[in-house]
Amino acid sequence: MTPKASITRKGAVLLGKHVACDSHEESRPLRIVTHAHYDHLTGLEQSLRKCQAVIMTPATRDLLAALRGPLFPFVGNVKTLSYGETLTHEDERVTLHRADHILGAAQVLVEDKEGARIVYTGDFRMSETPILEADILVLEATYGSPFQVRPFQKVVQKALVSLVESALKTGPVFIFGYHGKLQEVMQILHANHVKAPFIAPEKIFQISRVCERHGMQLGKVLSTIGDEAREIMENNEKHVAFYHMNSKRHVGRDAFRIWVSGWEFGYPRRQIAPNEHLVALSDHSDFKELMQYVHESKPKMVITDNYRVGDARVLAREIEKRLGIPAKALPQ
């Protein structure tokens, strides 16, 4: 008997009979992209060519167009579903629900003809993520170790704003992070009235424009290729520069630098070099929040995602030990 949920060695999260999430699977007519981070886009070009439909939220479609070029949505049969909207395929119903991660991120619910509720959380942060009741739950495991807990989460934003405001008194500030999280930082700084223009390379600028179109308020963001931004940078005027984490070895080496990363569990912010700090801003749930989701979802079975970065095996053992719910890490 085919299991109702599994994860393949290529990272495809299989739900029911028809759905594959976050990687291509030849046998599945429907591909779902839960969000626009690269580790959830495996085999997307194949899916666009071969699947009956590639499903995502409108915001994820727009982010992928910014990341991959404006022709992206027209390459294959892209179907957008808003949160709470349902697509019926043969004898199964597919619904996307909000996940608090990056703009457009979604949880996936598949309901089959036998009434089973099969849920894949995708990546999520607990604060604004609805907990879905599930018979089978496929759970992200990024921070799946009992040692990966952040008791200081409520003060992280305050620590970030304070650090940026202090550093701006001496000159430009460079912030490094991943797509989606950089725009969250812009939103936090803007909401806290940080008085400095934001400058970003063209791709990050375009992603920021998408985020604004979908309701995020980011403040004044300039592209590095624009005249105003060039003048500010050439004169070394006060500004906050936003760059992808992969750029941290190459830009802003003489400026005040901040990395935003969830891989910090000791302090809300930590100095790692004379003019360099790490701020523990995460867009994933920590261990306690993962356990809370499982407890409130009330599944009969849990599968932890062992394809992507995380502690899936540890998390599965802890779920069985603490909650008494059968759990296994896949792929093995």
- Considering the domain architecture, whether residues 310 and 205 belong to the same structural domain is answered as no
- Considering the domain architecture, whether residues 10 and 143 belong to the same structural domain is answered as yes
- Considering the domain architecture, whether residues 98 and 126 belong to the same structural domain is answered as yes
- Considering the domain architecture, whether residues 273 and 288 belong to the same structural domain is answered as no
> What does pTM read for this prediction?
0.95
CATH number of 171's domain: 3.40.50
**pLDDT for res 202:** 96
Name the domain count of the chain: 2
- Considering the domain architecture, whether residues 103 and 142 belong to the same structural domain is answered as yes
Boundary (domain end) residue, out of 264, 279, 294: 279
Boundary (domain end) residue, out of 279, 304, 321: 279
- Considering the domain architecture, whether residues 53 and 83 belong to the same structural domain is answered as yes
**pLDDT for res 249:** 87
**pLDDT for res 253:** 86
CATH number of 296's domain: 3.60.15.10
- Considering the domain architecture, whether residues 157 and 128 belong to the same structural domain is answered as no
Query: What is the widest separation between alpha-carbon atoms in the chain?
Result: 68
- Considering the domain architecture, whether residues 261 and 213 belong to the same structural domain is answered as yes
**pLDDT for res 73:** 64
Instruction: Give the domain range for residue 266.
Output: 153-279
Per-residue pLDDT of the chain (332 residues; tens, 9 = 90+): 679 999 999 999 999 999 999 999 999 999 999 999 999 999 999 999 999 999 999 999 999 999 988 777 666 789 999 999 999 999 999 999 999 999 999 999 999 999 999 999 999 999 899 999 999 999 999 999 999 999 998 999 999 999 999 999 999 999 999 999 999 999 999 999 999 999 999 999 999 999 999 999 999 999 999 999 999 999 999 999 999 999 988 898 889 999 999 999 999 999 999 999 999 999 999 999 999 999 999 999 999 999 999 999 999 999 999 999 999 999 99
- Considering the domain architecture, whether residues 12 and 121 belong to the same structural domain is answered as yes
- Considering the domain architecture, whether residues 118 and 212 belong to the same structural domain is answered as no
- Considering the domain architecture, whether residues 107 and 161 belong to the same structural domain is answered as no
- Considering the domain architecture, whether residues 158 and 136 belong to the same structural domain is answered as no
